[in-house]
């Protein structure tokens, strides 16, 4: 991922309040090039479908920002920019109606993040909700599934913390710029997420955490995920908005049953009454989503040779220990390449060192995935 020169016009229009996916698509279709749209006079912008007021706003933003300088500042903060046109844009998110044209990212998105589950809920989490969230997020992370949430207090924070504690990946979708951590007490948590996942926002860098920003960002939480799990939610909880987005996007929704007298469970119990899957156990979640087969695919992918060097090494390695010198002799590869490849293959679980620079091949023969 990275920022290309062309991305600056996407960023420019992203700075104009009122231009989202629909209007940007209209501009793209009309001009065929966002650079031309960015430089167009108000009359041409109006011909492309913008109102007079919005066309004036484009001109105002355009005259007040140096896009090259602005993007340089973004890059200096280690923030990446992804647009619809970029190969690294999350495929699952691209499938939703009106996906965000621009994403700002701190950290890294990887291919395996396409297997993700959103875990959301109330800020006023109960002891029961905390326990369920910890167990669920840990279970998902342990099974190689990325945990997506919103960095808010309560269920969100517990989800991120539990995934990290279990050595997994987690993504936080923010209702402000990725340079503005909210709530501020989650600054340290955010730093850990950057190291083992990503902070994501479709709001420009520097955007403050305005209350109106948070409901729309929930479509990204559900959009990145195969399914959304609501742990606890009051009758007006923002987590219910995320669940509705998931339904609209054709994604599965799970809700944790709770005490019918508890305020935190009124929203989740209502979701179940409306057809959400009751989450009785985390393993049921994997069964419904058929994620057991997905995790098997991840194991298989992990042990497939990445290049010709790994392929040649796997051809000579068996369950019988073979010294590095003999591996070099049989493959005809330089010792430095053999040594470097064996280190990576051991990290990937493809080979195992059994002492004295002797190696054996690890043949994965899994018919199922224990959860």
The predicted-structure confidence for 136-177, as pLDDT tens digits, reads as follows 999 999 888 999 999 999 999 999 999 999 999 999 999 999
Please, which pLDDT band fits residue 292 given cuts at 50, 70 and 90?
low
| pTM for the predicted model, two decimal places | 0.77
pLDDT of residue 299: 55
CATH of the domain at 350: 1.10.10.10
Per-residue pLDDT of 174-221, as tens digits, reads: 999 999 999 999 999 999 999 999 999 999 999 999 898 999 999 999
Band (369; pLDDT cuts 50, 70, 90): very low
Q: Where are the alpha helices (DSSP H) in the chain?
A: 7-14, 21-31, 34-39, 42-47, 52-64, 67-76, 91-94, 127-142, 155-165, 187-195, 214-223, 238-248, 266-273, 282-289, 291-303, 308-316, 324-331, 335-347
Residues 21 and 43 occupy one common structural domain = yes
Residue 175 covered by a domain: yes
Coil/strand/helix, residue 146: strand
Q: Is residue 367 predicted with pLDDT exceeding 70?
A: no
What integer pLDDT is reported at residue 143 of this predicted model? 87
Q: Give bridge partners of residue 189 from the DSSP assignment.
A: none
Q: Do 131 and 158 lie in a common domain?
A: yes
Could you give the CA distance from residue 309 to residue 189 in angstroms, rounded to a whole number? 39
**Are 82 and 178 members of one domain?**
no
Q: Average of pLDDT values for 239-257?
A: 94
Please state, in angstroms and rounded to a whole number, the distance separating the CA atoms of residues 162 and 241. 23
pLDDT, tens digit (0-9, with 9 covering 90-100), for 322-347: 999 999 999 999 888 898 888 878 77
Domain identity same for 117 and 257: yes
- Residue 271 sits in a domain whose CATH number is 3.40.50.450
pLDDT, averaged across the chain? 88
Q: Side-chain half-sphere of 31: how many Cα atoms within 13 Å?
A: 23
Phi-psi region of 154 (alpha: psi -120 to 50; beta: other; left: phi over 0): left
pLDDT at 297 over 80: no
Residues 127 and 207 in one domain: yes
Tell me the percentage of the chain whose pLDDT exceeds 70. Answer: 91
Give the number of domains in the chain: 3
- pLDDT higher than threshold 90 for residue 120: yes
Counting residues of the chain whose pLDDT is more than 90, the rounded percentage is 61
Place of tokens 């995935």: 369
The average pLDDT across 122-139 equals: 95
Domain finish residue from 48, 74, 106:
106
Tell me how long the chain is: 371
Q: Are residues 234 and 311 in the same domain?
A: no
Q: By the 8 A CB rule, do 118 and 225 touch?
A: yes
- Domain hosting 324: range is 302-361
The answer on 212 and 65 residing in a single domain is no
More confident residue, 224 or 307: 224
Query: pLDDT, tens digit, for every residue of 73-96?
Result: 999 999 999 998 888 899 899 889
Please give the pLDDT value at position 309: 86
Q: Are residues 174 and 251 in the same domain?
A: yes
Most confident of 272-281, 290-299, 334-343: 272-281
Q: What band does 236 get if pLDDT is binned at 50, 70 and 90?
A: confident
Higher pLDDT, 20 or 228: 228
Q: Are residues 129 and 62 in the same domain?
A: no
- Reported as a pLDDT band with limits 50, 70 and 90, residue 4 is very low
Of 4-13, 74-83, 105-114, 314-323, the range with the lowest mean pLDDT is 4-13
pLDDT at 285 over 50: yes
**pLDDT at res. 371:** 26
The pLDDT of residue 370 is: 31
């Amino acid at each position: 991922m990275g920022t290309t020169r062309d991305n600056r016009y996407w960023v420019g229009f992203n700075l104009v309040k009122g231009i989202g996916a629909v209007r940007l698509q209209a501009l793209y279709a009309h001009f065929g090039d966002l650079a031309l749209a960015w430089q167009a006079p108000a009359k041409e912008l109006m011909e492309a479908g913008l109102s007079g007021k919005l066309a004036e706003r484009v001109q105002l933003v355009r005259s007040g920002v140096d896009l090259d300088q602005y993007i340089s500042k973004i890059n200096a903060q280690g923030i990446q920019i992804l647009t619809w046109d970029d190969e690294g844009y999350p495929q699952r998110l691209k499938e939703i109606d009106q996906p965000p044209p621009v994403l700002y990212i701190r950290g890294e998105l990887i291919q395996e993040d396409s297997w993700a589950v959103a875990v959301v809920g109330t800020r006023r989490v109960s002891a029961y909700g905390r326990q369920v969230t910890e167990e669920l997020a840990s279970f998902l992370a342990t099974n190689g599934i990325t945990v997506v949430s919103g960095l808010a207090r309560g269920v969100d924070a517990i989800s991120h913390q539990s995934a990290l504690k279990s050595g997994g990946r987690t993504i936080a979708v923010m209702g402000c710029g990725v340079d503005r951590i909210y709530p501020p007490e989650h600054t340290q948590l955010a730093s850990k997420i950057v190291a083992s996942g990503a902070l994501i926002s479709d709001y420009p860098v520097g955007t403050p955490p305005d209350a109106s920003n948070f409901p729309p960002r929930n479509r990204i939480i559900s959009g990145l995920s195969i399914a959304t799990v609501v742990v606890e939610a009051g009758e007006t909880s923002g987590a219910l908005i995320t669940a509705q987005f998931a339904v609209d996007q054709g994604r599965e929704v799970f809700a944790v049953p709770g005490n019918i007298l508890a305020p935190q469970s009124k929203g989740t119990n209502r979701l179940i009454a409306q057809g959400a899957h009751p989450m009785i156990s985390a393993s049921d979640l994997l069964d419904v989503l058929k994620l057991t087969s997905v995790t098997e695919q991840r194991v298989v992918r992990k042990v497939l040779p990445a290049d010709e060097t790994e392929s040649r090494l796997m051809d000579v390695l068996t369950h019988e220990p073979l010294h590095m010198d003999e591996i070099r002799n049989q493959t005809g590869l330089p010792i430095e390449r053999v040594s470097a490849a064996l280190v990576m293959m051991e990290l990937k679980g493809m080979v195992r060192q059994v002492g004295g620079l002797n190696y054996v091949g690890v043949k994965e023969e899994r018919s199922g995935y224990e959860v």
